[in-house]
Amino acid sequence: MTEVTNNMISLIASCWKNDTLKQRFLSDPHTVLAEHGMDVPEGLNVNVVENTDSTVHITLPTAPTGLETLSDDELQSAAGGTIFTIVDATLNIGAVSDEEQAEEVAADNQDEYGLDNLHGT
């Protein structure tokens, strides 16, 4: 797991425990990210939103260039196969590229943050 991933997971867990930090993160993400070892490049906008019982936010990544010339089989190969996402209820914690890494992330989160219901899907 990368340092940035570890820092983000730690920040999210801290926000769950500290409403003041969560409100700061929602309103001033650049500052809070920097305070947690994740500097944001100048000119890059960051929006932090919170899922609720009745609303889930899904981020649609920017499409890679050149997709219009690839067949469906080529697109599947370019996507790298299955992505395992670590989730707690409806909150997306992070994405990893293989099942072993997903299990490792889940185990690390269970140990470090007491997040007992994280799992690979």
Whether 13 shows a pLDDT value over 90: the answer reads yes
Average pLDDT over residues 64-86: 62
Average pLDDT over residues 31-56: 93
* Residue 34's pLDDT band (cuts 50, 70, 90): very high
Nearest to 57 by CA among 21, 14, 87: 87
Residue 26 near residue 48 (C-beta atoms within 8 A)? yes
Rounded distance between C-alpha atoms, residue 38 and residue 30, angstroms: 9
* Residue 64's pLDDT band (cuts 50, 70, 90): confident
Nearest to 105 by CA among 35, 25, 8, 14: 8
Buried-state track 39-67, b at ≥16 Cβ within 10 A, e below 16: eeeeeeeeeeeeeeeeeeeeeeeeeeeee
Residue 30 near residue 46 (C-beta atoms within 8 A)? yes
pLDDT digits (tens, 9 = 90+) for 77-120: 665 544 444 444 333 444 444 555 556 665 665 555 554 444 43
Rounded distance between C-alpha atoms, residue 14 and residue 60, angstroms: 26
